Structure 1
Amino acid sequence: MHFTDRTDAGLTRTFAAVGGAVGLGITSDGSLYELIGADKGLRALIETFYDIVEFEPEGELLLTLHRRGHGVAHSRIEQFDFLSGFLGGPRLYVEHHGHSDVRAMHEHVDVSEEARDAWLKCMAIAIDRVGLPNDLKQRLMMPFTHVAKLLQDANAANVAIRQPPDRIA
């Protein structure tokens, strides 16, 4: 499964197949958005995540990538908007951009294995710092890990396509 369409339908299908999601960020006991504390909880998570990216060694690679792109301040806003809808809350990113295609969002970014792992590590640290319970951390990290892997795989495929063959048989 992959993110080819520009609606949340593609994400819904993908995450319905990953570990028991009833819908995009919706679980049998409510949305992940609600479980993390809705707007206030998500804001705390995003701010904590980007503080790690900006000021701690675990975020150094991500900070470099953000500086090549739109910058950290921009990413704090966009990630909040995206994760709001992704976790089952208001679809703010879709309202602003007309899609939630994570591959299109990251076309300009080299999502290497190291970048993928750094993002996941920073998010895991942020989840711990805002005090979410371990079971909720696991429920969040599962789709985050899945998307990060898809982005890293897509990047690897794009790099392979762009590289000319050494020789033609």
Structure 2
Amino acid sequence: MAQTAYEQIGGEAGVRRLARLFYETMDFLPQAAACRAIHPADLSGSEQKFFEFMSGWLGGPELYVAKYGHPRLRMRHFPAPIGPEERDGWLLCFATAWAEVAAAIPLRDLVMRRVVELAHHMQNREA
């Protein structure tokens, strides 16, 4: 029986690690400065919501949906100016964290392709 990406990265602990690494990377990576600038000073709330969303998105418990309802990601992010620089910074942070968490899982590349598609969908401003 095929495992979900959630299971392949170690379930809750793996997704928590992904969220932590993602936001740690955003805090120190110069290429993510534009993305970091549209986030609150304290990233703990963002990290928790990201963990809850990614849990369900990767095939685990739908924590975000249970707490907040349908994600409506584009609508919820529309107030934030997301242009190519913010999008690419976000993707770099995700790719960096994902490479560490999912280095040896079978679904690694498929998930990354879907994340790239999602990031492009979230862009709401031009350069």
TM-score between both structures, scaled by the size of structure 2: 0.88
Instruction: Find the aligned partners of 1:133 and 1:139 in 2 and give their Cα distance.
Output: 13
Q: Give 1:141's match in structure 2, choosing from 104, 112, 120.
A: 112
Q: Which has the higher contact order (CA 8 A, sep 6+)?
A: 2
Does 1:66 pair with 2:47? no
Partner of 1:130: 101
Going from structure 1 to structure 2, the CA distance change for 1:59 and 1:134 (only over 3 Å counts) comes to farther
Q: How far off is 1:134 after superposition?
A: 7.0
Gap runs ≥5 in structure 1: 1-27, 160-169
Instruction: Check conservation: 1:33, 1:88, Cα contact below 8 A.
Output: yes
Inter-partner Cα distance in structure 1 for 2:94 and 2:34:
14
Q: Scaled by the length of structure 1, what TM-score is found?
A: 0.67
| Runs of 4+, deviation exceeding 6 Å | none
Q: Counterparts in 2 of 1:12-51, with a 5 A limit?
A: 29-51=2-24
What displacement does 1:56 show? Answer: 2.5
Letter in 1 for 2:98: I
RMSD between aligned residues:
2.0
How many pairs are equivalent? 126
Tell whether the 8 Å contact from 2:9 to 2:101 is kept in structure 1 after alignment.
no
